[in-house]
Amino acid sequence: MLTLNGEIMKTKTSSIFTRFDINLEVEKQKVRKVSTDELLQEVADCVAEGDDDEIENIVKNVLKTKSPVKVIDEGLIPGMNEVTRLWDEGVYFLPQVILSSDTMIAGIALCEKRMGKLMEKKGKVVTHTAEGDIHDIGQVIVNALLNAAGFEVINLGADVPVDEVVKACKLHNPVMLTGTALMTTTMTAFPKIAAELKELGLNIPFVCGGGAVSEEYVISFDYGVWGKEASQASAMAEDALKGLSWQEIRNKWNG
Ligand code: B12
């Protein structure tokens, strides 16, 4: 390159010409090994690499020898955890994360289909993702596991206004309510919901999970029970079905 006074300036061409296909390969190598099982590792890699073309074949294949819950717990979730790590480290950006979450959700749907549904439903659980929040992967896992455990899931979806959550609880009279929040700006909906439930005398455990909420935060309001892992949701719903109060469920699972 010539400068203004005619001198030749040495330029590093590697910073101008970028081979994005090669960069992608480098990114792939950054996905860590998360399982000693080859098939489960394939599932995790598929999510971490956001390969939504391959997920169906890979999950159908692994489901021949492993249970759907194992595929979710030891393949899909660890794969998504890798995406979270790569995002936090600045390796992944929104496009990769969107591809991975679509791949994850497709994988969960296949597992859910395989788990089947019991004819007799045990009781209702209302699930939602907080108002203003579209991060619904945790909720999708919770839904699948509750369904598999025989609960009737009233799935309100993501970004649900406080009043709609309360209205659904009034209408369905569930044994338990769940909420997921991944953003510090959206988790503030949970104490509002709890306060409205209290005003109506709807005395139900409200299990709150998602990366944004801490145990300390959730147990700071009445009805709140902190859910660390999605897999706890069905055991907590069983407790609620047995008649344990929100205080008893909180004492058992938190603190
Ligand atoms: C995937 C992802 C997305 C995807 C979401 C896709 C989807 N359908 O969910 C997309 C690309 C769409 C997205 C968008 C955005 N995102 Co985003 N995203 C993430 C990422 C990388 C991973 C989250 C995830 O799915 N984790 C995997 C799931 C399984 O984890 P989980 O939900 O926590 O669930 C586990 C437990 O918490 C628990 N659990 C959850 N719910 C429940 C319920 C019960 C009952 C129980 C028992 C347990 C339980 O079980 C699960 C494990 O078993 C995080 C990074 C991070 N560090 O978390 C950022 C992150 C959450 N995103 C963030 C942001 C800022 C955004 C955007 C605003 C970006 C933008 N500028 O547009 C938008 C949000 C728009 C909106 N209004 O919501 C921030 C939030 C910051 C904050 N603290 O407020 C994070 C933390 C990234 C960061 N470090 O900045 N995002």
CA–centroid distance, 5 to ligand 1, in Å, is: 53
**Residue 139 Cα: closest atom of ligand 1:** 41
* pLDDT tens digits for range 144-197: 888 878 899 999 999 999 999 999 999 999 999 999 999 999 999 999 999 999
160 shares its domain with 220: yes
154 shares its domain with 190: yes
Structure-token pair, residue 167: 């209205």
Q: Is residue 230 part of a domain?
A: yes
Give me the CATH number covering residue 216. Answer: 3.40.50.280
Protein residue with its CA nearest to atom 63 in ligand 1: 183
* pLDDT tens digits for range 185-201: 999 999 999 999 999 99
- Domain final position from 56, 91, 115: 115
Q: Is residue 228 part of a domain?
A: yes
Contact 137, 105 (CB under 8 A): yes
Q: Is residue 145 part of a domain?
A: yes
For Cα atoms 211, 117, 248, give the angle at the middle one, nearest 5 degrees: 50
Q: Is residue 13 part of a domain?
A: no
Q: What is the pLDDT of residue 112?
A: 87
Domain span including residue 78: 27-115
97 shares its domain with 207: no
| Overall number of domains in the chain | 2
Mean pLDDT by 10 residues, the chain (255 residues): 48 54 54 90 95 96 94 92 88 88 92 76 95 95 85 96 98 98 98 98 97 97 96 94 97 94
Query: Of the candidates 17, 42, 233, 35, which has an alpha carbon nearest to the alpha carbon of residue 125?
Result: 233
74 shares its domain with 151: no
Protein residue with its CA nearest to atom 34 in ligand 1: 138
Q: Phi, psi at residue 197, to the nearest 5°?
A: -60, -40
Helix or strand run (H / E) with residue 126? strand 124-129
Helix 77-88 to helix 38-48 angle, to the nearest 10 degrees? 40
Ligand 1 cavity residues, CB under 6 Å: 77, 80, 83-84, 87-88, 94, 97-98, 101, 132-139, 141-142, 178, 180, 182-185, 207, 209-212, 227, 229-230, 232-233
Q: Is residue 15 part of a domain?
A: no
CA–centroid distance, 120 to ligand 1, in Å, is: 33
Q: What is the pLDDT of residue 6?
A: 47
